[in-house]
Chain A
């Protein structure tokens, strides 16, 4: 894009896509903002009236908000930690020349192709069910009492389920990153007297830092909006113990029929997501400059 005319042409060419994307984004956003200032309850259609910031006040002072905010953070951070540490471990394993490596690779990747609702149901009914679940059988087999994961540790269980879904993604990205590491660097480090641990932490992990940043960014975008897994397993309960902001917005607008408060929650979620995004972009910018 060196000359003025080619730059102009470039802009002209991308403009339809940009305009389309912009409309796609701005129309729903504008409507949500509009609704968030209305007293809009689905049980009383046609009674909408402008009520100013009341919806926001209502949403923010709701004790459920703080709890679900906290849950959202915990969910995102927990899943990120598990998938990145576990993903790195799997990637390192898959990088070794083990027998049947290709089959193992496909097996590792499989959970990513299972729909969230399906995988949540599988976990709920086949593993975590206190009566029929595999875990319950294991526990009783070893002489423990069956543990009701979803009611006793609801958030942790959901973190486990979501981690299981995202582990393949992290492992795959990190595997390609590991494979792009120049083997001579590792050999040089070996000659320089670095043992396996030193080689891993001093050479491999720094090499992975970019890929890890990419995984964090992409996963965060999706993890902020985890919904199906909660709906299928715990319905946000018990109490608000496994409600995240996405689920809270859903329950406000569709369970309590309060579209106004739901919209206000949506706008708050957008603001929070943007704050996270700014942090992440900073971090990535720093990491990618290297």
Chain B
């Protein structure tokens, strides 16, 4: 079991409010990702769930039981730290066995379990080495092994991949996802990398300055961000924002957002006319930075797109893929995706003028 419920949890550091009152419920077996910019309180939140940090007010329930005052070891949660936090003077074997040795478990059984975990994580050959003699990825696996071997009711990961190089990160991302499929244990995963969030999560929790901005599945967040912050944070490259003065379905909007993949290019006609700036060729895709009067738009086009630096192009949004935000940044009529072409063309006038 691994249900975790947060009720009105807050955190103050010396009177400075780092986490504002927030509610969150995490179901058993879910892969939940906390994302947000640096310093927004993700680690603090995770450490409060782990019990390494006291909550200032509110309640944390694990499997329906109030665990706010439970010491960390009794919560049945395992944590993987960003710095791995391996015990440098112990062999890999002893590192993995450490949590089991704290219980009154039989030595032969411990040996069995450690070897089984080492087997699944491809660590069998390194059992007698010390952490200092391992590569970053191997250390990461040892840290995960030390967490798995306890068979916890939930795993907590604090940016576990941020010390690895890009290729290894992609690999480990897959391995952790696979692990989640195999173990079906609740996992809470902190990252500030939205790609990790999108690819791994069942449920993404977007943090900003100690608040939860939105909770939802990756695709829900991508399709229906509730505000400008989430819209800009989820998706890569970032959503384009264009300032407008308009009324959409009876509500005043001040900003329009279109994702780069929802803009189409044309030689002859379109909503905006602009000049192609820098092009980024990724092979499969090309990202074009198009200067239109007043804004720079990022457009995602095909890998073999014919445009070059300085070309004149027309850019138009795919009509029903446009997001509108009001003056305080909240999304306007988020659910109604079907937007009239009329309203888009009226925007083009404001952008052109």
**When the two chains form their complex, are residues B77 and A191 in contact, meaning their CB atoms are under 8 A apart?**
yes
Also in contact, A188 and B73, with CB within 8 A (given A193-B102, A198-B102): no
Interface string of A152-193 (1 = CB under 8 A from B): 000000000000000000000000000000101101111111
Interface string of A177-219 (1 = CB under 8 A from B): 0000010110111111110001000110011010000000000
**When the two chains form their complex, are residues B50 and A191 in contact, meaning their CB atoms are under 8 A apart?**
yes
Most A-side CB within 10 Å, residue of B86, B102, B130: B102
Query: How far apart are A191's CB and chain B's nearest CB, in angstroms?
Result: 5
**When the two chains form their complex, are residues A188 and B102 in contact, meaning their CB atoms are under 8 A apart?**
no
**When the two chains form their complex, are residues B78 and A191 in contact, meaning their CB atoms are under 8 A apart?**
yes
Summed over the interface, the residue pairs from A and B with CB atoms below 8 Å come to a total of: 57
Also in contact, A192 and B73, with CB within 8 A (given A207-B89, A290-B89): yes
Interface string of B70-83 (1 = CB under 8 A from A): 00110001110111
The chain A residue with its CB closest to the CB of B75 is A191
The chain B residue with its CB closest to the CB of A185 is B85
Q: How far is the CA of A288 from the CA of B38 in the complex (A)?
A: 38
- Selected from B79, B87, B130, the residue in CB contact (under 8 A) with A191 is B79
Name the A residues within 8 Å of B103 (CB-CB): 193
Q: How far is the CA of A182 from the CA of B77 in the complex (A)?
A: 21
B110-138 interface (Cβ within 8 A of A) = 130
Interface residues of A, count at CB 8 A: 18
Q: How far is the CA of A207 from the CA of B52 in the complex (A)?
A: 21
**When the two chains form their complex, are residues A203 and B87 in contact, meaning their CB atoms are under 8 A apart?**
yes
Q: How far is the CA of A182 from the CA of B73 in the complex (A)?
A: 19
**When the two chains form their complex, are residues B77 and A192 in contact, meaning their CB atoms are under 8 A apart?**
no
**When the two chains form their complex, are residues B102 and A187 in contact, meaning their CB atoms are under 8 A apart?**
no
**When the two chains form their complex, are residues A192 and B150 in contact, meaning their CB atoms are under 8 A apart?**
yes
Query: How far apart are B190's CB and chain A's nearest CB, in angstroms?
Result: 14
Name the B residues within 8 Å of A198 (CB-CB): 102
Q: How far is the CA of A202 from the CA of B87 in the complex (A)?
A: 9
**When the two chains form their complex, are residues A188 and B85 in contact, meaning their CB atoms are under 8 A apart?**
yes
**When the two chains form their complex, are residues B99 and A193 in contact, meaning their CB atoms are under 8 A apart?**
yes
Q: How far is the CA of A207 from the CA of B146 in the complex (A)?
A: 20
**When the two chains form their complex, are residues B98 and A189 in contact, meaning their CB atoms are under 8 A apart?**
yes
The chain A residue with its CB closest to the CB of B82 is A184
Also in contact, A190 and B73, with CB within 8 A (given A184-B81, A198-B102): yes
A252-275 interface (Cβ within 8 A of B) = none
Q: How far is the CA of A126 from the CA of B228 in the complex (A)?
A: 75
Query: How far apart are A287's CB and chain B's nearest CB, in angstroms?
Result: 11
Pick 9 A–B contacts, CB within 8 A, sort by A.
Answer: A182-B85, A184-B85, A185-B86, A191-B79, A192-B73, A194-B98, A194-B102, A202-B98, A203-B87
